[in-house]
Amino acid sequence: MLYEYKKILSTLLLISSSILGYAQSDSIDLNSIIDKKVKLSTERPVEKIYMHFDKPYYAVGDTIWFKAYLTMDQHVPSTLSKVVNVDFLTETDSVANSLKLAVNNSVASGSIVLSPPTYKQGNYRIRAYTTWMFNFKDDYFFHKSILVGDAIQKQLATNITFSDGTDRGGKTNARISFRDDDGKPYANKKVNWKVNLGYETVSKGKVETDASGFATISIPEYKKGSLREGSLITSIEVNNARQISSSFKLNPAYPKNDIQFFPEGGQLLEGIPTKVAFKAIKATGLGIDVKGNVTDNSGSSVSEFNSQHLGMGSLIITPEAGKTYTANVTFADGSKSSYPLPAVVGSGITIKHSPKLDTTLNFRIYSSNNFLETNRNKTFYVIAQSSGIVMYAAKLRLVNQVTSVAISTSKFPSGIIQLSILSAAGEPLTERLAFVYRKEELSIKVKTDKQVYAARQKVSAAISSLADNKPAEGHFSISVIDETRVPVDENAETTILSSLLLSSDLKGYIEKPNYYFTNINESKIADLDALLLTQGYRGYSYKEIISNSVPRASFPPEQGISLSGTLRYNNGMPVSKGNIRLIIPDKSFGVSAVTTADGRFRFDNVAFADSSKITISAVNNVNSKNMVITMDGIPYPSIAANVNSPELIMNIDSALNTYLQHSKREHFDGRLLQEVVIKAKAYEKKSSHMDYTALAGLSMMPNSQVSGERFKGCNNFLQCLQGSAMGLTFMNNEFYITRDYNAGRQVPVQIYVRDMPVDVNFLNSINPPEVESVEIFYNDGVSGINRRTQTNGVVVVNMKEIKKTSMSISQLKELFPDRNTLTYKPQGYAKVKQFYTPKYSVNPSSLNKADLRTTIYWNPAVTTDKAGNAVFEFFNSDNKGTFKAVVEGLDKDGRLGRAVYRYTVK
């Protein structure tokens, strides 16, 4: 649904009729501004990703099923990128899994198996991106929190509450419940505890649980400051003297409420009645209700206020010259504080908007008296854009203090509208965000052959999609879950609507995003407006656009997997017009390339599965024995702070109790062996940096880790590491932390093999099958390694303990392979697995094994026909209760849709 440039120009309006017959030599023409904006949108279109998941949360042993929708501009299917990258990150920002997905028709699907013991209970997050998105930093990456519980490989469930904490970090009490996997309390058990702040233990002690399994830990005041960033670590002695540890963040124990105020239009204008929005949050980042009043510098109360939704709300004041204003706030927890409002501005222009469920957007442009007198009869520009595309533009001649602007919503698609006022010189003066709901957007309806079913009974279902009351062809994904055992907070869901229409265009965390897209009414319209007034808008400013200072795109869109490198002689000179051969043995595929004058070669659109062997060879050259192949590293974005950190759950066992109790029944079938305590001394295995004293100061968890499995079948470890180490860039025979290298800090990492510091060339001597893992640290923690060696970051190569055996000449030669041939396993496309659902069409009771699935059906590849219809069928599980079907997707014109449907199994 892209609007052409001619259509944009047709929306140019004269807001004031007095503009007729008035001539002015503008510094920059309105058409020129639009031309620059259109050019930018053409050269740097914005891609976005939305991922639909089968469930809102998971347990160890589950499979995460998902579908990625790749869009550009106004949510039309993207034609730019053909590869989507998906990272599964732990709470400590380590990479637990990374997938590369092939995009077909702007969609891709995949899965992640949460197999034990690799995955444990915790707060994870998904981020998805394309290489093209690197040009916009991480502004348009998709982010989602993924909560994973554990009901099959743990023997301890905890729940913690805090009391008596202070904002100054004083004494607080932590009351913790310790229970086994059956819910029975660990009574009269010893508990060791300590409080860590960074790498320092600041206090510790011992307590004992009572008869109900509760232990109360009194955390003393920390004399050097607050413990808000610290952690409480407990260790309880359970069966067979086994110690089980748990960790809890302390920030909820020390309240730190905050509130910010945002005048509509960006400033408090003298003499202009102004709406001031506010947003109050607590220490966790979630909203907190507030009430209070605003007083001026004489102590007189000029306004009172109460929050309306999740700590957000607004108040009205008319600022006076020479006065200052203070907001006196009382938070819901009883704490109080005062905050100064922004200073009063004597001259300016602003935009006001009163949101309504209407077909017209009504704006009012206010000028202060001083501004009006100074700029009377001057020309200003009013421009509205949606998803980076200019949809409305008009000239305004300033005649009156108040000018009304009414714009039909038919000019815009659903989503955020940014209305800006620019001077004739193109200088942005003020802006206002608004939201457009289009009822005629994609409508999806779900219908089943029955409303009530029996266990294991077949469900025949159909969906129909309409756009503007006409059949719509589109791509959809369908998830059916057992809602009785997977209860969902509908308001907190991340949906295709909340993600692409709201979260992707606003900066910062948005609490309960789907609240604004369910049962829409005037109250929710007002709540959404408060959100828009308190969140920043993504995108380039008009000042950057007009001055042509927008950075050039450095990363081209990926059309497939590319493998590139350099061919040199042993003396370092490049090989010009050298022959390079790429072979994928498991596909019986081969292709050749010729190097450029500087020895460069590149293979584009190479399709291969992850873990496939790739051979790059230069043997078909004269003097090939004196040639060396060097492969380029892969670009990898730095891991930024988790924007959704307020969603982190501390008491996972309690939060997922219903689901975990059922998960235990579903997954326990004798295949998973519980841990056995062996009192004999185990064989010592060196597989982590924690095993080496010299590296003890590094963080317990690396930022990224590469399993030794990736190096099986690899001939040269250094070459293979270049293509496998996420977060590292290999340039000039050195490894660098990618995020720092891209920021201009070109300081190499320090490399360790076991506990021995080595240089890069040493990695050529390592036998790849002997590598246990590679750990990558973006900083050296408190080890002091980087300070001593003038490096940045640490790479640790952990080796397997291999028995000493005699070595043949051929085996010895394998340790030092010819450098003109390279065999390694770069990251390829993740294998797409098929969701399995049993069929009970012959005899539903013929299978004796209980069917306890909670994801009843998942289909990421549903397409509607020209009539807008699609049909599907599946079988219910043995569970009884309410089942919930969610259908999401988009049509070929970028209209988004979501439908929720429920039926009953008795």
Q: How many residues are recorded in the chain? A: 906
Stretch (H or E) spanning 329: strand 325-331
Tell me, what's the pLDDT at 562?
Answer: 93
DSSP-derived 3-state class of residue 634: coil
Tell me, what's the pLDDT at 841?
Answer: 74
Give the single-character DSSP code of 288: -
Sign of CA dihedral 835, 840, 842, 843: positive
Alpha-carbon span 395 to 397, nearest angstrom: 7
Alpha-carbon span 784 to 568, nearest angstrom: 37
Tell me, what's the pLDDT at 359?
Answer: 86
Give the single-character DSSP code of 893: T
pLDDT tens across 844-864, in order?
Answer: 555 667 899 999 999 999 999
Percentage with pLDDT > 90 across the chain? 62
- CA 215 vs. chain centroid, Å, equals 36
Alpha-carbon span 284 to 258, nearest angstrom: 11
Tell me, what's the pLDDT at 816?
Answer: 58
Tell me, what's the pLDDT at 93?
Answer: 84
Half-sphere CA count of 178, side-chain side, radius 13 A: 29
Residue ranges, the chain, pLDDT below 70 = 1-26, 164-170, 240-241, 440, 668-687, 802-817, 842-848
Tell me, what's the pLDDT at 94?
Answer: 83
Tokens of 4: 């052409």
pLDDT tens across 93-128, in order?
Answer: 888 899 999 999 999 999 999 988 788 899 999 999
Tell me, what's the pLDDT at 502?
Answer: 96
- Dihedral angle over CA of 403, 368, 264, 428, nearest 10: 80
Q: Which ranges in 187-309 belong to alpha helices (H)?
A: none
CA dist 540 → 150, 384, 550 (Å): 44, 14, 7
Which amino acid would we find at residue 558?
Answer: E
Tell me, what's the pLDDT at 10?
Answer: 41
